[in-house]
Structure 1
Amino acid sequence: MAYNSRGDDLDLQKLFADLVRCETRLYNALNERLRSEHGMATSQFEFLRFLREHSGARVADLAAEFAIGAGATSKGVDRLERQGWIVRQINPADRRSSLLALTDEGRRRVEAAERTVTACLSELIEDTLGTRSVADALGLLRSALEQHRIGIPTG
């Protein structure tokens, strides 16, 4: 997939399309693997991983990190809490917000899922790309994901 549409200029629209499609397909494939092997979604893994590295973070911190709304973040946190993977603790500096922390079960889950994520991404990215330029590599990766129908939404 060439990116040069006007001489040496990079076709940014094509690059953007490839980036978005690669991200979507990789996310969907990872989501499918995590659900089947660990009973969690990619978004849950991402939240747990962030909280492992940032114990005591607030819902607002998660929302800022993942560039999503506070309402959606709060709902995701509620689901993790119901699963017993995180706990909310009173924020002594601001009693209107809670501090979030992994439970022992949450820590075990994220560590087990991390091995799956690494293996999955290695299969999908590393085995495909080799030592190509970023633009060529992303085009090749997108083609491979599409050819093998990886990460196609199921619903």
Structure 2
Amino acid sequence: MESKSGSGPVDVPGFFSDLVRCETRLYNALNDRLRERHGLVTSQFECLKLLRDRPESRVADLAAEFAVGIGATSKSVDRLEARGWVARRANPADRRSSLLVLTDEGARLVDEAEATFTERLTELLDTAFDDSSLSAAAVVFARLRAVLERDQTGQPTG
């Protein structure tokens, strides 16, 4: 199956394969660096960063942001809580849910890990992109994400 682009046919399944393999390799490389320097992995970093940037989010908010199931997200939060990085607080607006807040240790960790994350990701991207092509790729992927999120494509069912 091919799709027409402005510069000729595109191997759409090949594009998908490249996209997924790039994401996996980037994720794994970031996991390695974050684990080595800070004792956490990329998914934990992303959760902590989101909670830092959006204090008092709920598990459902994290699940929606990361397009994963609520059960899996709750288990991830349980692990962050067990490590002392996140605390659950009663939600005054809804007793059925909790608000998630970073502990002081979690806040310190995410700030330190963010520098490592950004440094390593920049290293990896600099090997494949110059500034203009990275900017163009960023625009394309932001557009794709916006369309997928607008249309609620790929939302988990549970």
- Deviations 1:50-96 (Å, cap 9, x if unpaired)? 00011110001101110111111011101111111111000011111
Residue in structure 2 matched with residue 77 of structure 1 by the alignment: 77
Residue in structure 2 matched with residue 33 of structure 1 by the alignment: 33
Supply the distance in 1 between the matched residues of 2:81 and 2:107 (Cα, whole angstroms): 13
Supply the distance in 2 between the matched residues of 1:94 and 1:122 (Cα, whole angstroms): 41
Q: Map residues 135-150 of structure 1 onto 2, 5 A cutoff.
A: none
Opposite residue 76 of structure 2, the aligned amino acid is: G
* TM-score, length-scaled by structure 1: 0.79
Residue in structure 2 matched with residue 99 of structure 1 by the alignment: 99
Q: Map residues 1-155 of structure 1 onto 2, 5 A cutoff.
A: 8-130=8-130, 131-132=132-133, 134=137
Supply the distance in 2 between the matched residues of 1:126 and 1:65 (Cα, whole angstroms): 27
Supply the distance in 1 between the matched residues of 2:86 and 2:112 (Cα, whole angstroms): 16
Extract structure 1 runs of 4+ deviating beyond 6 A.
Answer: none
Q: Which runs of 5+ in 2 are unaligned?
A: 138-158
Flag the structure with more relative contact order, 1 or 2, with Cα contacts below 8 A and sequence separation at least 6.
1
Opposite residue 77 of structure 1, the aligned amino acid is: V
Task: After TM superposition, give the deviation of residue 128 of structure 1 in Å.
Answer: 2.3
- Deviations 1:99-127 (Å, cap 9, x if unpaired)? 00111111100000000001100110123
Opposite residue 12 of structure 1, the aligned amino acid is: V
Opposite residue 110 of structure 2, the aligned amino acid is: V
* TM-score, length-scaled by structure 2: 0.78
Opposite residue 10 of structure 1, the aligned amino acid is: V
Equivalenced residue count is 131
State, as a whole percentage, how many aligned pairs show the same letter: 59
Supply the distance in 2 between the matched residues of 1:108 and 1:74 (Cα, whole angstroms): 22
Opposite residue 71 of structure 1, the aligned amino acid is: G
Supply the distance in 2 between the matched residues of 1:113 and 1:127 (Cα, whole angstroms): 22
